[in-house]
Structure 1
């Protein structure tokens, strides 16, 4: 059986980072669930802080330096993506959005995605649903129902937000993600580099794409 390939993207800016810690724990639980089902897994993790200059260069110059290209190719061939960002000013980090902006739009089609976020207060937890989820849905990915938010007070706390402890939420999201990864077959997807990003009528008529 071919191993499932899971890519983990962490947009934490500090070292050590609670964002990376959450990403690692989500990945570990997802791997554990898949292993229980007899599914082999390969996990590859990318820290966006290490790719920040390459991402900016890609946005400015239109091509990906080798390290960034490796990350983009990995996502295009992945069976699942775990994406975790800190929340700044009620939304995802600018570095996180910039990275998403340089991903080939076709690369996320039908890709299972587990969304995670970190922040200082539970008040930011809704950012997963009003900011992150619409972004990945627009790109035709498949975000699992449970997104996992970790506030500063959740780490080491028994009950976290008072509803469900952080370990419980991590496991629930990872389980949904693992089960979707197991069912999903992206091997038939073909990335066509010549596919138009706008309707032909727009190109012929000189109309700007929506």
Structure 2
């Protein structure tokens, strides 16, 4: 299985990348526990900012951006993490998905996550990020993960309602959808099969 992780953090190190890494570790653990090994590719958007701008202007992706797009389309599942700017996803995050073919993510399981300074911004995931991937016809896992500044110092384990618990639940949902994903035929068949399974899956 192939898992592609998109991080839109701008600093080094960044809380966005830290959240992406924790989600990736948990998703790979969930897959491994059920006998599935996943190769992982990380796409750091800050390293592609110039290439994304070039593509938006010319319509032709430079090689590094082409490789990132190919990693997205070839993945069995995606983890996407954006910082919150001006009460929405970052411009860099949106620009990257603007250059993706509108049909490239049809039926693909996607775990969405975001970071911000305060939990007041957590609804960005439901009001901005989830609709973006619904438009792209991806299958977004039910649990979205928001990490505010205070979440990083909170205690608890993966079975609590804190950040570790949200990471565990979202990763389990993504792993279940990746395992359930049928062989790709027509895009409509892909998304219909996944959505019909989503209601029946149990996540432990």
Deviation at 1:156, TM superposition (A): 2.1
Report the 3-state secondary structure (helix = DSSP H, G, I; strand = E; otherwise coil) of the residue aligned with 1:117. Answer: strand
Report the 3-state secondary structure (helix = DSSP H, G, I; strand = E; otherwise coil) of the residue aligned with 2:36. Answer: coil
Name 1:24's counterpart in structure 2: 21
Deviation at 1:187, TM superposition (A): 3.2
Report the 3-state secondary structure (helix = DSSP H, G, I; strand = E; otherwise coil) of the residue aligned with 1:107. Answer: coil
CA–CA separation in structure 2 for the residues paired with 1:47 and 1:188:
30
Bigger Rg over Cα: 1
Query: Are 1:14 and 2:48 counterparts?
Result: no
The gaps in structure 1 that reach 5 residues or longer are 191-210
1:120-131 map, 5 Å: 120-131=117-128
Q: Deviations over 1:133-187 (max 9, x none)?
A: 000001100000000000001002126xxx8211111001000011001101353
Q: So what's the TM-score if we normalise by structure 2?
A: 0.88
Name 1:144's counterpart in structure 2: 141
CA–CA separation in structure 1 for the residues paired with 2:32 and 2:85:
35
Q: So what's the TM-score if we normalise by structure 1?
A: 0.85
The gaps in structure 2 that reach 5 residues or longer are 188-204
Name 1:66's counterpart in structure 2: 63
Do the aligned partners of 1:87 and 1:119 also contact (CA within 8 Å) in 2?
yes
Name 1:207's counterpart in structure 2: none
Name 1:52's counterpart in structure 2: 49
Deviation at 1:49, TM superposition (A): 0.1
Q: How many residues align?
A: 185
Deviation at 1:104, TM superposition (A): 1.0
Name 1:116's counterpart in structure 2: 113
Question: Residues 189 and 20 of structure 1: is their aligned pair in 2 closer, same or farther, counting only changes over 3 Å?
Answer: farther
Question: Residues 58 and 186 of structure 1: is their aligned pair in 2 closer, same or farther, counting only changes over 3 Å?
Answer: farther
Report the 3-state secondary structure (helix = DSSP H, G, I; strand = E; otherwise coil) of the residue aligned with 1:38. Answer: coil
1:27-106 map, 5 Å: 27-106=24-103
Report the 3-state secondary structure (helix = DSSP H, G, I; strand = E; otherwise coil) of the residue aligned with 2:80. Answer: strand
Name 2:199's counterpart in structure 1: none
CA–CA separation in structure 2 for the residues paired with 1:189 and 1:101:
23
Aligned-residue CA RMSD in angstroms? 1.5
Query: Are 1:180 and 2:199 counterparts?
Result: no
CA–CA separation in structure 2 for the residues paired with 1:112 and 1:53:
28
Name 1:201's counterpart in structure 2: none
Report the 3-state secondary structure (helix = DSSP H, G, I; strand = E; otherwise coil) of the residue aligned with 2:75. Answer: coil
Report the 3-state secondary structure (helix = DSSP H, G, I; strand = E; otherwise coil) of the residue aligned with 1:15. Answer: coil
